[in-house]
Chains A and B, each alone.
Chain A
Amino acid sequence: MPGGYVGKILRVDLTSGKTSSEDLNLQWARLFIGGKGLGAKYLYEELKPRTDPLSPDNVFILMTGPLTGTTAPCAPKFAVYTKSPLTGTFLDSYMGGYLGAELKFAGFDAVIIKGKAEKPVYLWISDGKAEIRDAKDLWGLDIHETEKRIKDEVGDKEVKVAAIGPAGENLVKIACITVDTYRQAGRGGGGAVMGSKNLKAIAVRGHQGVSVPNIEEFIELTKEITKNDVVTEDNLWAKTDGTPGFLQMVQEGGVLPTRNFQMGVFEHANEIDGDAVKKILVRKRACYGCPLGCGNLTQVKEGPFAGTVIEGPDYETLALGGSNCYISNVAAIAKYNLLCDKLGLDTISTGDAIAFAMECFEKGLITKEDTNGLELTFGNVEAYIQMPNLIAYRKAIGDVLAEGVRKAAEKIGKGSDRFAVQVKGLEFPGYEPRGSIGMALAYATSDRGACHMRSWPVNDEVFGDMDPFTTKGKAELVINGSIGQNLYCAKWSLVVCDFYAIGYENMARLASAATGWKLTVDDMKLIGERIWNLIRMFNVREGFTRKNDTLPYRIANDPLQGGKADGHVVKPEDFNKMLDEYYKLRGWDEEGRPTKEKLKELNLI
């Protein structure tokens, strides 16, 4: 058997209550590595097309990679792979923390969960065994309390827990999964899938090891890469500032989402930026095996939100829960962050949903009758801070927003779809595409809807030298850039963290050293492209084609206000030009379907 993997998959059928273990499919592992690739492969093979994402038939997969649990730098992550209830597309959503490594130590590379438990349960995995346990007393609890109770019940504080909160239980489509207290699989509604299966939590503890062919050589390699490629100037921001350090750069580039994407700059940016977060910083936190440690453990010591302790807020939370809602109080954003973490809400989509509701309120499309009496205007902290609870418990307007902004706009009507900022139902993250046109293509073609972690042209267009307003070279950038879709597929298959800007070469070196396979740079490139195409096949099978690779109305029609991109829109002719070029470069037809030739070339048929 190759190294790195532990070689077993845990299967759980919540309907029958049975669990079993089987060998990892090593043929697939060689073609797809792990993480995103292997997760997508198992999901593609095992999920019946057009399955209702919240039905017992949806498949919910946790997948690690061959580096998970080793000393490979910045490789603590694992992810959930399922069909998204928010978008109806393929969904992969990544978590840091320690549970991914612990799952390997417990003897499993992956967990595949199907069915639906009759009553609330949690899954207890330890040292090659699994047990479905009663979670009647945990149902309704917030995530931090759930984690604590499970550790108490098991009697081991080193147990790692992934759990949902009331939002996931109430099938809120922007519900997240929280792992190890402060790390989330935020996007796409994975929490609702767990909720639909009556699965409150997954708890893991292991005392088994992860082996590699030559452990001393492996450690030397990881030390060398850490020194020369990780703890370097390019990545050091993660250690010194963490993600809040982006905020001023994004503001300067004029792409900071503000007032529900009406503006690209926020006049109070310096109240919610990296320096503002540093004022409440207590200490840094890392995930398993990470020498960077981007996490900021913060504590609010005074004012109405005194006592708030959180790992965060990260950039995305500051942008979508801050400037996009016109909130300039970093303590309030920290509190919002904590509420979302405990209730189990994605801070990105939730921030967007609140901002959308604020615009509806200011335009008179909803009133105090809808908001439980809240004066839901931009920047109103008192109203803002009530919203996570309304959404998680589906109260008043929260019940509408719980479906995500696309569905909320359908329900509210009155033209509100013109400012529901999403692609395929997934709300935008913190980068305004009218000031970074490549980002428009990245959002439109991303496999799970508007996502910044599939390709990130902002790096070249806003922080780099590329013209952010012209279409030239953008399709190539999105596909093959150093932060492009293919490279990211390879990276997510090894489940290396976003914040280590790893290239193909070190991916190949680490993957080879862990597995014992001789993987080259070309192999990693091919694997990346193969994974992206497999997932496109998944989405095509679900009915997604060119008609869904679109931009929201606001981005194409409303001129952005303020900053470097003032007055810009993404013109439909420009967008279509990029999309045509993108499909052509991908080897897909005009409708965005992979051609037979391309699939053959990638060993997918």
Chain B
Amino acid sequence: MPDGLQLTDLRFAYPGGEASVTVRSWSVNRGERVALTGPSGAGKTTLLRLIAGILEPQSGSVSFDGGDLRAMTAGARRELRLARMGVVFQDFALMDYLTVAENLLLPLRLGTGATLAHEVTARGLADRLEVGRYWNKPAAQLSQGEQQRVAIARALVHGPELVLADEPTASLDSARKMTAAHLMLADARERHAALIMVTHDPELLPLFDRVVSLEELAA
């Protein structure tokens, strides 16, 4: 059974539109860190959503560790996403009325349950991303940059095997951008997880094992 992510003859179009994402063949191994680039509106976010199983392709396959997402039920895809994937959404997807701590532990609380060890991990991630001091503050009261760092920490807290990050440093200043990127890259390496990060930042691209553009994937 192949390890990591495999995409084959993937084709997706929004209803009434032309094909917005096409991928001939693409693999990302466990432990590999890949930067995904492409012009705005080319379909990078859509591709991440297809990989996460939030969207379903019209044709082709997405499989992770040998399991075909298209063959799974919507519920099974959600469980896979909750337990084995970590997603940093462009809009952060935080719950305004929850504190930083509660947001970080939310996927665990709604999934298998949060343990003390998870809380320690979450606290450590929050400290490293410099949002630990806001531990008990509601997410609504944080700045964009702080919210983005909380979203990064939430994607990593349960030790996912595949991390999908959609421009996770877009709202961060230069120093914090590097801190966040290094943290995500090191985390993927340490845990032998696959990391796909959508980014346009030329400072970050050299840090990845591979840089792939959407055009290349379609060719």
Bound pair: A and B?
no
B residues neighboring A (CB under 8 Å) = none
A residues neighboring B (CB under 8 Å) = none
